[in-house]
Amino acid sequence: MNEQAIMQIVDDVIAELLPKKQAALRHNEIPIGISARHIHLKQEHVEHLFGKGATLTVQKWLTQPGQFAANETLQMVGPKGSVTNVRVLGPARMLTQVEISHTDAVALGIQPPLRESGEIQGSASCTLVGPKGSLVLQEGVIIAQAHIHMSPTDAQHFGIQNGQYVSVRVRSPRPITFEQVKIRVADHYQLEMHIDTDEANAGLIQQGVTGTLITDKIEEKSLDKRPSTAIEINKKIITENDLSLYQGRTVVIPKNARLTALATETVTKLGIELQFHEKG
Ligand SMILES: [Zn+2]
């Protein structure tokens, strides 16, 4: 085996060993987890719905340490309809809480508020039906607000604090930026952003995609830069793609360059100032 081949293998092994998370952190990248509708139950309700002495059993461990998707599922019933096979997450909690999407809420005929997990006071009602019983949940149904779990080390890296709001930009086939995403810091948290299925569908986002964290500070800085930044594009044909990032900025192109029809539209739509230079 020649030296170059050996070096390549060594590089590959090092790349393999480099923690994925570390690589992600370097680029302000946040892994995104899509939360399907789910139910957290207090132990009293576990037994009421699944039988005396019943406990939740592990089907699959989740990213956040100790959290699991249980084998147990329930039916949710509202005034307009029902949803079957709603997954229960374990372990049992202090409060029973149901997290659904707006689409689910419409199907059920209820109006849950957009809330942070745990804040269920005055939230929506539904009926839960299990194999051994059913119960009317007076409150506890919410639409979960998008949030990011992270450790204190991650928070330090990003220069942000628990409770702060940030934006997250996702470059999916249908690009989308989430605003008012709440930062939740705890020692045991794994870095992960949680959105619901409606939010994922809006951006055609699939499990395993990452987003870019934008703090207000970074956002302000890039805004300040806009007027003074002239971008030069040295191409004979300028397309929409060449221009789509440069909202409100000055773009310098060769004097003999041609713009496609879509590029011309983009110039108007994004308020781009075009300047021509002589060469090219
Ligand atoms: Zn979460």
Report the separation in Å between the CA atom of 147 and the middle of ligand 1, taken as the mean of its atom positions.
6
pLDDT score of 226: 47
Report the separation in Å between the CA atom of 196 and the middle of ligand 1, taken as the mean of its atom positions.
10
**H/E stretch holding 242:** helix 240-243
pLDDT score of 207: 86
Report the separation in Å between the CA atom of 170 and the middle of ligand 1, taken as the mean of its atom positions.
18
Nearest 10 degrees: Cα torsion 45, 36, 65, 58: 50
Does residue 61 contact residue 89 with C-beta atoms inside 8 Å?
no
Report the separation in Å between the CA atom of 192 and the middle of ligand 1, taken as the mean of its atom positions.
8
Report the separation in Å between the CA atom of 100 and the middle of ligand 1, taken as the mean of its atom positions.
13
14 is written with which tokens? Answer: 């090092």
Q: Which residues surround ligand 1, an ion (CB under 5 A)?
A: 194
H helices of 28-140, where? 43-50, 102-108
Distance CA 37, CA 100 (A): 4
11-67, pLDDT tens digit by residue?
A: 555 455 545 555 555 578 999 999 999 999 999 999 999 999 999 999 999 989 999
142-180, pLDDT tens digit by residue?
A: 999 999 999 999 999 999 999 999 999 998 889 999 999
1 — pLDDT class (breaks 50, 70, 90): low
Domains defined along the chain, listed by start: 19-32+147-220 (2.40.40.20), 35-144 (no CATH), 229-277 (no CATH)
Report the separation in Å between the CA atom of 52 and the middle of ligand 1, taken as the mean of its atom positions.
29
